[in-house]
Structure 1
Amino acid sequence: MYGVQINDDGTIEQMNDELAQACVNGLKNLEIHNYPQPINMEVSLLSIFCGFYGTSNETISAEGIGNIRKFNKLSANADKNYGQASSNGERKPNPWILTKILRYHNKDHYEQIIKPLLKKNYEGKKKEKQIQINQTLILNKIDLTDDFTQLDMQEKAANGEYEKEEQIVMDLTRILIYYEGETEDIYAIKGYDAICDTQVLYHKLEGTVYKQLEKININFKNKKIDEKDNSKPITVKHIFKKYASKFFKKRCKFISEDPKILTVFQGYKYKKLHTIDYECLQMYFYLIKETIAAGDERVYEYILNWIAWLIQNPGKNRELQQYYKVDKVQVKIDSLM
């Protein structure tokens, strides 16, 4: 997996000088043939030239080309067609061919020198990519009016719709967040409440949530063959742990304007009614009008508007200090608050 060096745009990645020099040092005492054969069978002159011409450092490239005849044994045909092979190799540069040659024809050097450098290069790219994602990724927020749940992630993963890790992170932020509890972290995961027919937040412990995330196996749509063969199965749990800082909130409150605090309230739980039963509501209207508003239409309308405002603006405190005299009875509106 460390030898796959193709960028997302299909171009060949440049090899760093440390690795290029290590390849030059290992490509010695080889039997080099003229006619190209699969690299695992024999070393061809063309593949050697393709590798050295792909090296961006001209000094290292020149040293490698100079070593071809100096430290290796060329077949008669290879020696005869040296110039032609050099010309052809210059048109097809690819430095990573050198690592493959060493893998099959100088195994000790590959295992001791090249493979650790490939791993170092691979880990460095992974870290760089993760930093870039962390810096540029604009995350979603949990929206209880959005029907997207863990089931949708499972279906997308099963259908191979994910191409990159950041797509998984974006979807995961639509359903999961965690915050610091008194003794351990608490996880809030969005799920469907069948009774209320709405999306709600379920607060769970880490172990329970991890078990849920482990059930979603990821098979990236455009994953390279080498990676598929050599890597372990990836689950959403792996992705979450990798980008855990993107999901953290410092606390949980009913309502907060602080973006670092999880706001639990996102609207009232309700069943959407197709028809309104005014007869059911009439007893409440009667209580407000006849008892609280003392029969005054003006006060009654004011109170209804005030209640509507409270429902439409949860968490906000509307201080009222107004008094009305109705049939010599003083009504203090803010006594309802």
Structure 2
Amino acid sequence: MSYKDYAQQQHDRIYGVQINDDGAIEQMNDELAQACVDGLKNLEIHNYLQLINMEVSLLSIFCGLYGIANESIRSEGMNNIRQFNKLSANADKNYGQASSNGERKPNPWILTKILRYHNKEYYEQIIKPLLKKNYEAKKKEKSILINQTLIPNKIDLQDGFTLLDMQEKAANGEYENEEQIVMDLTRLLVYNEGEIEDIYAIKGYDAICDTQVLYHKLEGTVYKQLEKININFKNKKTDEKDNSKPITVKHIFKKYASKFVKKGCKFISEDPKILTVFQGYKYKKLDTIDYE
């Protein structure tokens, strides 16, 4: 595989995701749908279904167009099939049957693949940037949704979960999404504005006292700890893991920093926006005292 083909493969895997988390085919937005319709011109359209990279079939065109939700754009695409393209004799003869079959298997993302192989210049100049734009918009939308709906955990010193446990979970690929990482991290870390810079409180294990304690640290120190935890999402493909830029817990923390911020700290406070420094006694209480 050439480097150009490899780069295209990586682009398609990142930006051409078509399936939602619930397994349904994702709806194509109007801007991208219109661009696809505009690019379906000067094509040789055949009747028999072949691999998309070999030739354009009438069925694949209809499957793509019926997947477009906007009726006006879909109708324009239907009208353009015969007006701006060359149909083989068999394709023209079986036009109605292909239309009926395509309506039963709608998938608008087929159109981007058709353009990739059969209108390459248009794909590179128009479709490819829109796919990236669509991907970035989805990422931003998901991030906003998480920030709006996710309820962070509280730090509990009776809970034995530490940064080491998080590191082991990440190394074993136990995390499926960013939400799970944020929820675990909120069990360990908060920060508030300091006089000079932000002050972080991170839960850790005190081996001498055999208890969990809160360590107060500066941003740089905490970031170094978080950078050591690389994330390998459970549902990510192996080759994507090997070739994509590593994501660390630091990236996730910075992305959802609003879930960790406190407006200040007190020894004891009932205000959930204030960090309570007192988290129980540092030393374990004994039921009985052995004087010997």
TM-aligned CA deviation for residue 255 of structure 1: 2.2
CA–CA separation in structure 2 for the residues paired with 1:154 and 1:41? 46
Q: Which amino acid aligns with 2:69?
A: S
Q: Distance in 1 between matches of 2:289 and 2:48?
A: 85
Pick from 203, 227, 230: which aligns with 1:217? 230
Equivalent residue, structure 2, for 1:192: 205
Partner of residue 64 from structure 1, selected from 77, 88, 98: 77
Number of equivalenced pairs:
279
Contact 1:196-1:270 at 8 Å conserved across structures: yes
Deviating more after overlay: 223-232 vs 154-163 = 223-232
TM-score (norm 1): 0.77
State the alpha-carbon separation in 2 of the partners of residues 176 and 107 from structure 1. Answer: 49
- Describe the shift of the 1:11–1:230 C-alpha distance in structure 2 as closer, same or farther (beyond 3 A): farther
C-alpha contact 1:191 1:201 (8 A) present in aligned 2: yes
1:63 counterpart letter in structure 2 = E
Structure 1: 5+ residue stretches without partners: 281-337
Call closer, same or farther: CA 1:243–1:194 in 2, change over 3 Å: same
Which residue of the partner structure matches residue 48 of structure 1?
Answer: 61
Change (3 A) 1:18 1:7: same
* Structure possessing the higher relative contact order (Cα contacts under 8 Å, 6 or more residues apart): 2
TM (norm. structure 2) is 0.88
Counterpart of 2:97, as a letter, is Q
Corresponding residue of 2:25: 12
2:91 matched to 1:81? no
What are the equivalent positions in structure 2 for 1:125-144 lying under 5 Å apart?
A: 125-144=138-157
Q: Secondary structure at the match of 1:269?
A: coil
Q: Secondary structure at the match of 2:41?
A: coil
Q: 1:235 to 1:28 in 2, by over 3 A?
A: same
- % of aligned pairs identical? 88
| CA apart distance, 1:27 | 0.9
CA distance in structure 1 between the aligned counterparts of 2:83 and 2:185, rounded to whole angstroms: 57
- Residue 203 of structure 1 aligns to a residue whose secondary structure is strand
Q: Distance in 2 between the 1:106 and 1:254 partners? A: 66
Instruction: Structure 2 unaligned segments of length 5 or more: list them.
Output: 1-13
Cα gap change, 1:226/1:98 in structure 2, threshold over 3 Å: closer, same or farther?
farther
Output the CA distance in 2 between the equivalents of 1:59 and 1:226: 40
Separation in structure 2 between the aligned mates of residue 209 and residue 39 of structure 1, nearest angstrom: 50
Shift of the alpha carbon at 1:208? 1.7
**Displacement after TM superposition at 1:75 (Å):** 2.9
Runs of 4+ in 1 over 3 A off after TM superposition: 223-231, 271-275
Aligned mates of 2:77, 2:130 — CA distance in 1: 18
Indicate whether 1:240 and 2:246 are aligned: no
Query: In structure 2, do the counterparts of structure 1 residues 90 and 230 end up closer, same or farther at CA, with 3 Å as the change threshold?
Result: farther
> What amino acid maps onto 1:29 in structure 2?
N
The amino acid of 1:135's aligned partner reads Q
> Which amino acid is the alignment partner of residue 252 of structure 1?
C
> How many Å apart are 1:230 and its aligned residue?
7.2
Whether the 8 Å contact between 1:4 and 1:226 is mirrored in structure 2 is: no
Quick check: 1:178 aligned with 2:191? yes
Q: Output aligned runs, 1:101-112, within 5 Å.
A: 101-112=114-125
Shift of 1:223: 3.4
Q: State the partner residue of 2:158.
A: 145
Structure 1, 71-80 or 154-163: larger mean CA deviation: 71-80
Say which is worse superposed, 4-13 or 101-110, in terms of deviation: 101-110
Whole-Å Cα distance in 1 between the matches of residues 243 and 121 of structure 2?
21
Bigger mean CA offset, 171-180 vs 58-67: 58-67
What is the Cα deviation at residue 77 of structure 1? Answer: 3.1
How far residue 231 of structure 1 moved from its aligned partner, in angstroms, is: 4.4
Quote the Cα distance in structure 2 between the aligned partners of 1:89 and 1:150: 52
- Return the offset for 1:22: 0.8
Going from structure 1 to structure 2, the CA distance change for 1:235 and 1:199 (only over 3 Å counts) comes to same
In 2, are the aligned partners of 1:176 and 1:188 still within 8 Å (CA)?
Answer: yes
Counterpart Cα distance in 1 of 2:60 and 2:235: 27
Residues 237-316 of structure 1 mapped to structure 2, 5 A cutoff: 237-271=250-284, 273=286, 275-277=288-290, 279=291
Does 2:215 align with 1:202?
Answer: yes
- Give the number of the structure whose alpha-carbon radius of gyration is greater: 1
Which letter maps to 1:70?
Q
Give the structure 1 partner of residue 3 of structure 2.
Answer: none
Decide which of 161, 172, 191 is 1:159's aligned counterpart: 172
Q: CA deviation at 1:245?
A: 1.0
